[in-house]
Structure 1
Amino acid sequence: MGEQQRNPWKWGIFYYNPDNKSIFVPKRLGLGWTVNFAHPASWLVILVIVAAIVVVKAVGK
């Protein structure tokens, strides 16, 4: 029997698969994409999005 396949979905909503080199992966259910949290660049993508939101809120005041 081979190695047991791991489920890359943590808590059913976060995709974490270090063997998958993709940054963006299709969502488990429905349309759209999510990030592979095991890929270091995904954290940069999230940081840029959060920073953009903070800047827009700060400038909009």
Structure 2
Amino acid sequence: MENQKISEEEKNNWHNDPNNWIWGIFYYNPKDNRMFPPKKIKELGWTINFANPNSVFLCVVVILVLMILSESVK
């Protein structure tokens, strides 16, 4: 997708579309370039857009760092 500005209305439409939620909890929308969109219940914070490779990579890096740190504490 080009670097065009996406309207808040379009973002809300994506957020409310059940086809963009796997099992109702995992956000997956290739059209949405945000790494961390709001959760299904927006007051609970943000989630990962699993269709964005950058957000998945960042999530894996964080998990690996936490695993390495937990091993060094033992």
Normalising to structure 2: TM-score of the pair?
0.69
Instruction: Give runs of aligned pairs for residues 25-40 of structure 1, distance below 5 A.
Output: 25-29=37-41, 30-40=43-53
Instruction: Give every structure 1 segment of 4 or more consecutive aligned residues whose post-TM-superposition deviation is greater than 2 Å.
Output: none
Normalising to structure 1: TM-score of the pair?
0.82
Counting matched residue pairs gives 57
- Report which of the two has the higher share of strand: 1
Identity within the alignment, %: 42
List alignment gaps of at least 5 residues for structure 1: none
- Report which of the two has the higher share of helix: 2
- CA distance in 2: counterparts of 1:45 and 1:39, whole angstroms: 10
